[in-house]
Amino acid sequence: MSKPEPTAPVTADLLIPQHVAIIMDGNGRWAAARGLPRGEGHRRGVEALRKTVRAAIELGIGYLTIFSFSSENWSRPAAEVSDLLGLLRLFIRNDLKDLHRSQVRVRVIGERDDLTPDVRSLLEEAEEMTRDNRKVTLVVAFNYGSRQEIARAARRVAQQVAAGEITPEAIDADLIGRHLDAPDLPDPDLVIRTSGELRLSNFLLWQSAYSELVFVPTYWPDFDRATLEGAIAEYCRRERRFGGLAVRAGS
Ligand code: FPP
């Protein structure tokens, strides 16, 4: 499957990256700083997500990937896990029509088999309803871990070898990439992590091989269009080399 050609809309002085991926971190600390329960931080996090999707539409970002629940998040207290699942349900139930009206296509990456049938069918409904939309693709990473995704891809390739469909010599990076959860999407140009933490935490490890990483101190509930534009401005100052000679970010 061929990947879409990169496009780089220009807004004011910013060259807009085609694909922005965000690790939305700091909800708990945002809440703790205000003496509020962690759940309130997650609720305000959903507000920030709405604002960010709107900003992505306005700025002409083609793909926005959000890390909304990691494979490791199941180890949080049961009440918090249930809060996060509840927020996902609410987000899809309340926002799906608006997203659809705004021409947002929803895609989901992550392991679906462990999810309850109601959550699974909500995710499928969101993908189905919005499948022909072309303005922005919102990729929801849910029950997602990058090592697990790569292991799933390797398992699918191993099955093809075992079935005699391909030889081991046919395995290369391109083939593995074609068995990831959303192989038709372009790699992220820019990965942003909020809250000042400086790591990827098992997010898009394969796809971000050549992404620019921008870390912002803002806790996720305070993230807005201005913070996004600040991260994009930082991205525009980077030189991307892809292992070769310098290319200006966004070009
Ligand atoms: C990290 O904050 C954030 C998450 C684990 C989940 C992100 C979820 C949302 C923004 C809301 C839910 C949105 C959907 C669509 C389900 P943290 O709790 O790790 O913060 P901390 O590091 O300060 O404790």
Percent of the chain with pLDDT over 70: 94
The binding-site residues of ligand 1, defined as CB within 6 angstroms of any ligand atom, are 24-29, 42, 45-46, 49, 68-69, 73, 84, 87-88, 91, 195, 220
Substitution site in 23, 24, 75, 82 for ligand 1 pocket (most atoms within 8 Å of beta carbon):
24
* 97-119 tens-digit pLDDT: 999 999 999 999 999 998 999 99
**Is residue 8 pLDDT above 70, yes or no?**
no
Residue 202 annotated among the catalytic residues of the structure: no
Residue with the smallest CA separation from ligand 1 atom 6 is 68
Q: Which residue has the higher pLDDT, 245 or 18?
A: 18
Q: Confidence band (pLDDT; 50, 70, 90) for 5? A: very low
At residue 250, the pLDDT reads: 58
At residue 1, the pLDDT reads: 39
At residue 246, the pLDDT reads: 74
| Ligand 1 centroid to residue 157 C-alpha, Å | 33
Where exactly are the structural domains of the chain?
Answer: 19-145+186-248
Cα 95 to Cα 12, 54, 107, 126, 150: the distances in Å are 29, 12, 14, 10, 31
Q: Confidence band (pLDDT; 50, 70, 90) for 227? A: very high
CATH number of this structure's domain 19-145+186-248? 3.40.1180.10
Please name which of 108, 142, 144, 153 lies closest in space to residue 127, comparing C-alpha atoms: 108
| Ligand 1 centroid to residue 65 C-alpha, Å | 14
Contact between 27 and 45 under an 8 Å Cβ cutoff? The reply is yes
* 14-71 tens-digit pLDDT: 799 999 999 999 999 999 999 999 999 999 999 999 999 999 999 999 999 999 999 9
* 145-185 tens-digit pLDDT: 999 999 999 999 999 999 999 999 999 999 999 999 999 99
Residue 25 annotated among the catalytic residues of the structure: yes
Q: pTM to 2 decimals? A: 0.92
